[in-house]
Structure 1
Amino acid sequence: MASESNFLSQTLQAITSTKRREQERRRKTFEASKAKLLESVAAASDDRARLEVMLSGFKELSSSNKGVSYVDDDRTEHARNVARYLEQSYRDPSVSSGIIQGFYRNFRQKVDQESQRFDYADLYYRLLSEWTDASSKPLEQSERKEEELDGSFEHVPKYDLQKLKNKFASVVFTPRETDEVEIDTYLSDFFQDDHGTSLLEAIRKANVAFARKLKERATPFDSEILKQCIKALLGNNLLNDDAKNTLSEFTTNEVVLDEIADVLNLRFADLDNWSWQADEGMYYEPRRQITGKYRIMMDMDILQAIFLHYIAVSWCGHLKSVFGTLPNDKRFWRGPKKMTEEEKGRHYYFMGFHPTSGVVGKLDKNFCDTFFLSALPCSLTEGGDPYGEDKDAEAAADETKTGLGMRQMFLRQLATDVITRRSLHGQVAVVQSDLQWYATGLPHTTLFAVLRFWGVPEDWISLFKKYAEAPLRMTATPGEDVRTRKRGIPITDAFETLFGECVLFCMDVAVNRLSGMTLIRFHDDLFLSGEPSQCANAWEAIQDFVKVLGLDINTSKTGSVYLCDTEKDGNLLTKFPKGPVCMGMLQLTDEGEWAIDQKQVTAHVRQLQKQLGQCSSIISWIQTWNACMGRFFQDTFGKPANCFGQAHVDAILETHANMQRQLFQAHSGSVTNYLREQIHERFDVAKVPDSFFFLPEDFGGLGVKNPFIPFFGVKDQVLKSPLSRIAQFRKKEKRAYKDASEAFAALSDSDKQRRLRKGLGESSKHTPIQSEPFVSFEEYTAYREAYSNEFLCAYAELNLKPRVEDVHLANDLKPWFDELLHSHGIDWYSFSSEDKWIMHLYAEELKHQFGALSIVDKNLLPSGVMKMLKKKKVTWQIVIWE
């Protein structure tokens, strides 16, 4: 990995150097005093004399935590107590020599523990120095040749970047003409009836009104609006690092912000005459993303980026609101069949209560609240990277706030749907797909046809056309080979989200109106799940849609699974696309099980081994390890949940064990053995304790992530078998049917008459129902997905994430955590579940070797450096492009 020296500011380096010098000064003072003390102790005549000398010297010795009142007071009180016991021993024979020797050994251990704390604080700073040293050499060179590595990445083939640039140019500078009349006719068919026509007209009127009001904003930009725009731009990959650094500086300078606001308000007032103002062309270059993917990114002027972001996100928030009227309108948006009013009355007559909302209602709400147009920000404060690649997996507890969290939510929903549908109906189908080079190759004629269909006024379409037809160049030389873009829009720009979602929402409508299904979509990642024939119809609708709108299916990311307990329908089989269904490295097998794709794992482990070997410092190695083993693999294996069962957790743990055996074949599969050897070779420090590696950085450890701990914390909280919960539901359902039947049979004629009037009314046409027997079990269960509360409970339980079972704090360790509260301001209950496990696991070792649960004095920790270290993103060093 490249040197991190540029990553640290000069100020931080200066602070770190100052703290290291202070640490070294304390260390030398301590060791000199210790050596002198031990000489005096060695010259003492007997046990009492040795203890007396030790006590006297111990009071004068400095400690690594000196200045922390709780620690200083404890040292003082302990020494005072022992001094009194020593005085007692001169008069009282019951204070034996063994007791005196024990006191001496205890103080000697404390002195040696202080040495250990100073030694490892020194090692900590030496590791930091290595991290910031540009001349540091890689930890090791991979023995594999590059060609051998390429062979393992069949799913992510490696290409030279020039080929990527050539492919990009062949797409964006070559127009793909689509028929705007055909597109308008195709979309209009979905709004043919009177109700659909009125909904479409309302959307168009709302768009015209919004377009007018947005344009009439006199001074839309002020310092607060600019800060919101800047925050969003800093959170995505649109701008290069230099531009981001400049933007960061803007946020702290109100004078500059006011000047920028004035300029952008003048520009907004003359919106009709806006242009790129880039006669020399805007440079497009391959830029590596956090996942290792290369994407062609545009170097955009900072003020243009802010200006355009504001416009795009304003439109995003508006369109998300008006488009939301369609899935919320149950007369327009098709869904699973529900009871008619007469059927509801019949239900009341036999059951004695009105049906309540069940799983169907819950999934509808999840779709509208979470998945519907999830890429579109509702406001400027939500604007960011539509791909969500820079989101820290631990950044938000609310899954609905991150793309990764929403995918995990959907994965659980999908897995639960597969289990319940197959168990209750004997069959289910899942289809997954993706659009090839969607944003890059979106035909401009398609885009403008869609915008016109939704009623966007022509003056705004004129602006959007100027935006889309940007002057680009593929070389770094200004003015060289400048060409006008004819297809696509800039990736990670807010306009990509706006335009992309406008077009793909039409797909949402098409799939729903033609098949009755709701398409779950994460930008251009597409998912269908449900009854097989319905899924087949929905897939046909998607294929027709992309044909009419001039888009392409990415066959490499398209596949299906058709599960059936009886003989499969051969006609349906031919309609489904070939290929696997995967989310991350979790794959749905033809048997209906979710399995970790070991082929992908092996390939990534080989690449990780190579990337780790190229790290030029222990800390950069740990950064890479934590990013890949501590976050990446945990996310791509799927988070544990009841719908996967304990077998999934066991598979994850076994996969991690296999990965470490592959990574550390020569070190008994142990990351600590490997790091211990590296530290010994590079710093000549032997026998490094395990606690030093895993202890959080705030306490002087290296913060190495243990990938096993999160899964052991939930392993026993997951259902052993998801199918057992379905079996339990079916048993309860049969019991409830029997109870309802017996309760109905016990009703008097007058009770039945009252139910009839309340459920179906006074009309005589319903009286024949009184002669009917109780409903059949088939009728009783016909609408279980829509109305059964028992099924809703079972579904919700299968969809649950497990609760983390924290380690219990042992009584003998409580005083040590009390000390930690005083020395570092954190108590046991403030630790994360993972850190509780770490701190408790290594507490005895820490107590024995360092005499405390921390290693480095908090005041001497380079906290500024550590905070920046945690923010530093680690990029996969594989070359992937789209």
Structure 2
Amino acid sequence: MASSDGLSETLHAVTRIKLAELDKQKKSYEVAKNTLISNADVEVDSRERVRLLADGAEKLPTMTSLKDNPILSLKNLKRFTTQAERDPSVSEAFLADYEKAIRDELSVQSNKYAFATLYGQLVNEWISVGKAPDNESAADWIPVGRDEMHKQRATWEGYVFTAKETDTAAIKSYLEDLFTNSSSKEVRARFQELKRKISLKQENWDSSPFTAHVVSQCIRTILRGDVLTDKKRSTLKDFLGNDIVLNEIADVLNMRMASRASFVWEGISTVEQRRQLNGRYRFYPDEDLLQNIFLQYIGLEWSTVWKNALIGFSFNQGVLKTPSGGPTEEETRRRNLALELEPVDYKSWATSKQSRRRHGRTALEKNLREHWKDEIFLDQLPQTRFEQRGGYNAGDKDGDTRKSPLWVIQKLLHRVQALIMIQRRLGKDMTVIRSDFKWFGPSLPHSSIFAVLEFFGFNEEWLQFFQKILEVPSLFIDDAPGTEPRNRKRGTPIGVPIASFFGEALLFCLDFAVNQKADGARLYRLHDDIWLWGGVDTCVSGWSALTEFTEVMGLELNETKTGCAHITSNSAATPAKLPAGLPSGDVVWGFLKLDPISGTFIINKEKVDLHIEELTLQLKACKSVFDFTQAWNIYGARYFTTNCGRIANSMSSEFLDSMLETFQRIQQRVFGATTTGGVGAHLKQMITDKFGVADIPDGYLYFPIKMGGLELQNPFINLYLVRDRLSADPKELMDKFFEEEETQYENAKKRFQSRKDARPAKLKDVEFPTFEEYTAHREYDSSELAEVFEKLMDEPVIDEIDVRGEVKEALGHTKAGRSGWTSYEKWIFQLYAKEMIRLFGGLNIVEEGLLPMGLMDMLKQSRFKWQG
């Protein structure tokens, strides 16, 4: 259920007042309406009856003023009624229609009040369920994953409370071979510069960095994560609005920073075990808020310093190796002379975007290199101290200054898919490896962390400070009274910047090792989620470097998430045999699996079915309508959609149809294959059983909360919005590329030959390349191939719903107007508008100001507590 811990009593009180006022208005309206109708019913004269209804309706205490009704004009009706006194053209049939319009409008207002009352009942139900003791509903709850919960806790404790002493001498020797004893003088020189930067930062560390502004910025970054309980989140939000409190906090934290050398962990770190939708449990620390803000700042500061220092080190010319396979200098020179092009160093990290615009050429290899530099390299570390970035599970948010990790990994999948498609059409094989580390955060040996930091120049004072915040006394929130806390001896806490700093300090060494030992390969690593692709030899060398690092640092690879696919250029009927030196297993992410035969991602139905079972149990555990809606939106719609992947042009309409079939199967399995209506029909029945309200319109379920709806999500709609824009066969883009490439070659050859006599003497002997030479290094010198890649990477343009007629008119009278709605919302409006306008006189079920929107915003923002 949605947690109500963070909902203030003030908000509850305001909600109660609003709902009580709404109920009072409803009763007043119904009494006045019934009196008006009774008086009208006894009037025999039709003209007088219509006039009576029009005059009376205008004075009723309606939810929305009938004078402002865009569909029904009472003023006009009264004028037409006066006209009918003498004008025979205004017939009895006309008057009957006018009378029906007024009576329908009176019913519309009753409908609005009825569903406003229902809304109040749903809110009160949710509040009461949220405040009920857990044991009240225990009898109805089927334990989900309870055995797994205990098993995972035991595993976590086995890592965290048991030290693993790694061979620090071996780690030092390994790092020396990589950096200080490198065969590259550029690496050796730049590494010394890197150590000087770290040393300089320690010497000049600001011992009084906190101001009210810095404290508030730290709080905002904390609130972006999901570590805190709702109650503590509410407390921090209260801090933001109080400069006196912020300044007092800043003073205390500056005192703490000045005495950093004698820092002592205050209190106990309480651990809360929370179930994630993927079935894993995470172990969140619950600590003192001042200590939380203090460590947030230190983590953010070191993270940004570390990232900037490593960028400065890595992207200096000659430090990172570039992949082999590109054209030689002589081949490039001859091509540029023949095609009359200015030279561009495609292998240089330093080639500027301005330079590429000037030359008008961006090759595929350059695209890949810059993507790795800008979006993949040290992805977990912030680019600026207080950047606004959503968490992995949160997706992108308004005000973000950087794309979320979820967006980055989804686009990485698009990249893999597009590259496979291109490589196969170019007649090349491609190998893809995916892996991650087993229990990476909890299993990180402290000795390995300190060995790496010491090697990079961190002094003893900072190493001791880091040890104090890593080896904190901890207790589980549900431990029995009197349980003695235990000091952590391994691993890092989850969801805090200092943990990202420690993790990236180690894993940067892996990135660098793979690059140096695998012929310039780029390891696509997001936290500990690892992707590596390219030729077979490159992947074998890269995998060897990865396993060597794993052993030296005392880590373990996760076999269940480790896999390799070798995709050949021919369309074989069976998967290619993996060369020696590569891992076995499938390449998977979420509900996707890379098919080595087709070279495309497909949906893993077995894994989907496991989550369908879990979704069913979670929905059954919901005790309120709002909880059910929230659980469906998060799990049944968002989670399944996310794990099936975002749609890109590299995916065919056949893949999208498989997603639609998946969502159809989810509804059939959860709500019964023989019933119609799916989740909507189930929710309607749930409301009817609880509150006795029948004939609930579909629009009420799916319309936005701010319009009085429940905002139930429909995962089909966003797929249908792009379905007609996808190609049945994305490979057609490569067919077109080959045709245009041949034409461009012939045109360039004719142009070269036509200028033969006009060329300078030193160019007289230059021969135009053969077609094989012209196309030998497309990845390095064809901007057209790069354009094909970008088109395959792009997400299809939404095919906007055509809003017309009364729906268009009704949207114009909503608060957001006609253009302030998403394509998804417009589809919802158009789909259900006819019934909603009939029942409610427009698209607003209840006027926004009458709803407890503050409470509903808190509902959507509060952490959902999954059962089991």
TM-score by length of 2: 0.91
Structure 2 counterpart of 1:645, from 652, 656, 659: 652
Structure 2 counterpart of 1:527, from 528, 531, 539: 531
Residue 382 of structure 1 aligns with an amino acid whose one-letter code is: E
2:371 aligns to what?
Answer: 366
Structure 1 residue 806: Cα displacement: 1.9
1:47 aligns to what?
Answer: 46
Work out the CA distance in 1 between the residues paired with 2:834 and 2:667. Answer: 26
For the 8 Å contact 1:290–1:390, the answer to whether it is kept is no
Residue 553 of structure 1 aligns with an amino acid whose one-letter code is: L
For the 8 Å contact 1:229–1:383, the answer to whether it is kept is no
1:550 aligns to what?
Answer: 554
1:452-531 paired onto structure 2 within 5 Å: 452-473=454-475, 476=479, 480-515=483-518, 516-531=520-535
Change in CA separation of 1:35 and 1:583 when aligned onto 2, cut-off 3 Å: same
For the 8 Å contact 2:271–2:283, the answer to whether it is kept is yes
Work out the CA distance in 2 between the residues paired with 1:401 and 1:624. Answer: 25
Structure 1 residue 114: Cα displacement: 1.7
Structure 1 counterpart of 2:413, from 393, 411, 414: 411
2:169 aligns to what?
Answer: 181
The answer to whether 1:636 aligns with 2:643 is: yes
Structure 1 residue 25: Cα displacement: 2.2
Residue 499 of structure 2 aligns with an amino acid whose one-letter code is: E
1:577-588 paired onto structure 2 within 5 Å: 577-588=583-594
Deviations 1:266-314 (A, max 9, x none): 2222222222245xx5444534457663223334333322222222221
Change in CA separation of 1:841 and 1:616 when aligned onto 2, cut-off 3 Å: same
The answer to whether 1:563 aligns with 2:557 is: no
Work out the CA distance in 2 between the residues paired with 1:570 and 1:624. Answer: 42
Structure 1 counterpart of 2:221, from 222, 232, 247: 232
Work out the CA distance in 2 between the residues paired with 1:345 and 1:75. Answer: 72
Structure 1 residue 384: Cα displacement: 7.8
Work out the CA distance in 2 between the residues paired with 1:569 and 1:295. Answer: 36
1:95 aligns to what?
Answer: 90
Work out the CA distance in 2 between the residues paired with 1:130 and 1:136. Answer: 11
Structure 1 residue 455: Cα displacement: 2.0
Specify the SS of the correspondent of 1:429. strand
Work out the CA distance in 1 between the residues paired with 2:436 and 2:657. Answer: 31
Structure 1 residue 506: Cα displacement: 0.2
Deviations 1:783-824 (A, max 9, x none): 21122011011001000012222222314433322332xxxx
Residue 103 of structure 2 aligns with an amino acid whose one-letter code is: R
Change in CA separation of 1:684 and 1:786 when aligned onto 2, cut-off 3 Å: same
Work out the CA distance in 2 between the residues paired with 1:47 and 1:284. Answer: 74
Deviates more, 1:776-785 or 1:36-45: 36-45
Deviations 1:665-688 (A, max 9, x none): 153252222122222211111111
Specify the SS of the correspondent of 1:332. coil
For the 8 Å contact 2:437–2:555, the answer to whether it is kept is yes
Work out the CA distance in 1 between the residues paired with 2:866 and 2:132. Answer: 21
The answer to whether 1:607 aligns with 2:614 is: yes
The answer to whether 1:195 aligns with 2:195 is: no
Specify the SS of the correspondent of 2:565. strand
Structure 1 residue 435: Cα displacement: 0.7
Deviations 1:810-857 (A, max 9, x none): 14433322332xxxx220101111111112222221221111111112
The answer to whether 1:378 aligns with 2:383 is: yes
TM-score by length of 1: 0.89
Structure 1 residue 481: Cα displacement: 4.1
In angstroms, what is the RMSD of aligned CA positions?
A: 2.9
Structure 1 residue 33: Cα displacement: 2.2
Deviations 1:728-751 (A, max 9, x none): 112212222222223223332342
Structure 1 residue 378: Cα displacement: 2.9
The answer to whether 1:208 aligns with 2:199 is: yes
Work out the CA distance in 2 between the residues paired with 1:579 and 1:235. Answer: 36
Change in CA separation of 1:146 and 1:859 when aligned onto 2, cut-off 3 Å: closer
Residue 851 of structure 1 aligns with an amino acid whose one-letter code is: G
2:796 aligns to what?
Answer: 802
1:152-163 paired onto structure 2 within 5 Å: 159-163=147-151
Structure 1 counterpart of 2:337, from 349, 367, 382: 349
Work out the CA distance in 2 between the residues paired with 1:424 and 1:321. Answer: 38
Residue 845 of structure 2 aligns with an amino acid whose one-letter code is: I
1:439 aligns to what?
Answer: 441
Change in CA separation of 1:265 and 1:522 when aligned onto 2, cut-off 3 Å: same
Work out the CA distance in 1 between the residues paired with 2:70 and 2:157. Answer: 71
2:160 aligns to what?
Answer: 172
For the 8 Å contact 1:399–1:405, the answer to whether it is kept is no
Length, aligned pairs only: 839
Structure 1 residue 632: Cα displacement: 1.3
Deviates more, 1:515-524 or 1:48-57: 48-57
The answer to whether 1:334 aligns with 2:321 is: yes
For the 8 Å contact 1:238–1:297, the answer to whether it is kept is yes
Structure 1 residue 561: Cα displacement: 0.8
Residue 172 of structure 1 aligns with an amino acid whose one-letter code is: V
Deviates more, 1:787-796 or 1:370-379: 370-379
Change in CA separation of 1:252 and 1:728 when aligned onto 2, cut-off 3 Å: same
Change in CA separation of 1:116 and 1:259 when aligned onto 2, cut-off 3 Å: closer
Deviations 1:79-98 (A, max 9, x none): 23222222222222222222
Structure 1 counterpart of 2:237, from 225, 240, 248: 248
For the 8 Å contact 2:387–2:401, the answer to whether it is kept is no
For the 8 Å contact 1:642–1:797, the answer to whether it is kept is yes
2:749 aligns to what?
Answer: 741
Residue 496 of structure 2 aligns with an amino acid whose one-letter code is: D
Residue 43 of structure 1 aligns with an amino acid whose one-letter code is: V
Work out the CA distance in 2 between the residues paired with 1:224 and 1:544. Answer: 45
Deviates more, 1:848-857 or 1:183-192: 183-192
Change in CA separation of 1:864 and 1:285 when aligned onto 2, cut-off 3 Å: closer
Change in CA separation of 1:295 and 1:168 when aligned onto 2, cut-off 3 Å: same
Work out the CA distance in 1 between the residues paired with 2:398 and 2:663. Answer: 25
Work out the CA distance in 1 between the residues paired with 2:736 and 2:139. Answer: 54
For the 8 Å contact 1:585–1:600, the answer to whether it is kept is yes
Structure 1 residue 103: Cα displacement: 1.4
For the 8 Å contact 1:333–1:513, the answer to whether it is kept is yes
For the 8 Å contact 1:336–1:360, the answer to whether it is kept is no
Work out the CA distance in 1 between the residues paired with 2:771 and 2:617. Answer: 61
For the 8 Å contact 2:230–2:862, the answer to whether it is kept is no
Residue 118 of structure 2 aligns with an amino acid whose one-letter code is: L
Change in CA separation of 1:459 and 1:63 when aligned onto 2, cut-off 3 Å: same
Structure 1 residue 621: Cα displacement: 0.7
2:19 aligns to what?
Answer: 20
Residue 222 of structure 1 aligns with an amino acid whose one-letter code is: T
1:301 aligns to what?
Answer: 288
Residue 548 of structure 2 aligns with an amino acid whose one-letter code is: D
Deviates more, 1:340-349 or 1:689-698: 340-349
Residue 176 of structure 1 aligns with an amino acid whose one-letter code is: K
1:821-832 paired onto structure 2 within 5 Å: 825-832=815-822
Work out the CA distance in 2 between the residues paired with 1:461 and 1:75. Answer: 70
The answer to whether 1:272 aligns with 2:261 is: yes
Deviates more, 1:229-238 or 1:527-536: 229-238
Specify the SS of the correspondent of 1:91. coil
Structure 1 counterpart of 2:836, from 846, 862, 871: 846
Residue 51 of structure 2 aligns with an amino acid whose one-letter code is: E
Specify the SS of the correspondent of 1:779. helix
1:870 aligns to what?
Answer: 860
Deviations 1:578-612 (A, max 9, x none): 12212211211122121111112111111111111
The answer to whether 1:689 aligns with 2:697 is: yes
Structure 1 residue 781: Cα displacement: 1.5
Structure 1 counterpart of 2:74, from 72, 75, 79: 79
2:624 aligns to what?
Answer: 617
For the 8 Å contact 1:667–1:674, the answer to whether it is kept is no
Structure 1 residue 473: Cα displacement: 4.9
Deviations 1:610-669 (A, max 9, x none): 111111111111111111233211211101110112222211112111111112215325
- Percent identity between the aligned chains? 32
For the 8 Å contact 1:662–1:669, the answer to whether it is kept is no
Structure 1 residue 374: Cα displacement: 0.8
Deviations 1:717-766 (A, max 9, x none): 23332111112112212222222223223332342646x3xxxxxxxxxx
